[in-house]
Amino acid sequence: MSGRRPLTRSHLTALGVNAVVGSSIFLFPGLLAGMLGPASIAAFFLTALLLSPVALCFAEAASSRDRAGGPGLYAQQAFGPTAGFAIGWLCWIVEIVSWAAIAAGLSAYAVPFWPALGSPWAAKIVAAAAVAGFAGLNLLGARPGARAAVVLAAAKLLPLVALALAGLPRLAAASWRPFAPHGWSPLPGACFLAYFAFQGFEVVPVPAGEAQAPERDAPFAVLASLGGAAVLYMLVQAAALASVPGLAASTTPLSDAGRALFGPAGGALIAAGALLSMLGFLAGCALGGPRYLVALAEEGHLPAVLARPSGRGGAPRAAILLTAAAALAGALTLDFERLVDFGNVVIGAQYAATCAAVLADRRRGRASAFRAPGGAALPLLGIAATATLSAQGGWARAAAAAACLGAGFLLRAGARRLT
């Protein structure tokens, strides 16, 4: 990338918050309540606890580098170019799949405000506009895209915070009995669901090469994204449990909670919050996704044009256009439930690779501005936690991830023959 470094700590943190707090928090409270009842709060807590060693490893890995790349860069520097490409490619796959899926579902949240958007063709037009709009914004450079992420992060958090604060006074002992009506056997499945809701903090180091102080700001943003999301999710789940007696049967749990707490306008407020959340998620994908291609191109895995800055803003135009095209193609075919399962399995490879890379960095004496506590035990705990969570997805999803990885290696080989 060029010598310009336009991103600040607030930009990186907003990118992480947008990536973590996505549309899932508007959909999952009812599903989790159906699995565990009031104990569903424990699923959020336990999942965040399991992921905390992973987040600390990401913070340490990010603090020792001053360039874009994220998990792909860490794997390459620790285990060689083949591992680096594999992880970097999977990172990009997750970003385009997520971008496509959320864009495809955007119109559903807009229907209460504009019923005409309920038709299939309208949904396709909205998805195309969402992909093209954020891609165009990021073609102007990293700062405009990051500013959009900051604004949308603040806007989408307001209704969630308001819901949490308004619902807490309704908490009563009766709301927690029975605490786990179906026992604790659904806990692994509930944690697998919550696992998806916490994903996103790993994108923070990707544009680190465009940050003003990456060694200091990237670790802060990683930890703030995961920790802040954990607190918010638990508060929102508690508020929903307290305000919606039939939460487990609700398909729009937070809209129902908004109506119960604020009256008829409450449902509309939460629906607007869902729209902002999805737009914020799309802003994060549009900013972070192309940077995976930049990193792969800088390492020689893909054509150098993908890493070439263009225009006054220095944006990687080719990488942005390719990522947007892939997301647009996928927006017509993907559904949210398959994304959850597939994303959880693919993300697991990235998390485990980063934890293993931290172990390798320490053995080689690599300097880092942030040192995670716990010695070698912490990365090993991160690997074990990731394997435990991702294993809930089953072999079919693992096979699909392997197929995507194989396609990436075919493209890599083809690109190398042309250079």
How many Å from the N-terminal Cα to the C-terminal Cα in the chain?
21
Buried b (16+ CB within 10 A) or exposed e, 122-151: bbbebbbebbebbbebbbebbbbbbbbbbe
Do 177 and 375 touch, CB atoms closer than 8 A? no
Domains of the chain: 9-418 (1.20.1740.10)
- Helix 81-110 vs helix 317-330: crossing angle, to nearest 10: 60
Q: Detail the DSSP E strand segments found in 171-274.
A: none
- Helix 9-20 vs helix 264-298: crossing angle, to nearest 10: 120
Annotate 262-276 with DSSP letters as a single string. H-HHHHHHHHHHHHH
- The Cα–Cα gap between 38 and 351 comes to 29
User: Is residue 366 within a helix (H) or strand (E), and if so which, with residue range?
Assistant: none
pLDDT in tens, the chain (419 residues): 445 566 777 777 777 777 787 778 887 899 999 999 999 999 999 999 999 999 889 888 877 776 655 788 899 899 999 998 999 899 898 888 888 878 877 777 677 778 877 777 887 888 888 888 888 877 776 666 566 666 666 667 788 888 888 888 887 766 777 888 889 999 999 999 999 899 888 777 665 556 667 667 777 888 888 888 899 999 999 999 989 888 888 877 888 898 889 888 888 888 787 787 778 778 778 887 888 888 788 878 888 888 887 766 678 888 989 999 988 888 877 766 777 788 888 889 999 999 999 999 999 888 777 788 888 899 999 999 999 999 988 888 889 889 989 988 987 887 777 76
Q: What is the dihedral of CA 23, 29, 30, 31, to 10 degrees?
A: 80
- Cβ neighbours of 401 (radius 10 Å): 22
The reported pTM is 0.79
Annotate 258-320 with DSSP letters as a single string. HHHHH-HHHHHHHHHHHHHHHHHHHHHHHHHHHHHHHHHHHTTSS-GGGG--BTTTTB-HHHH
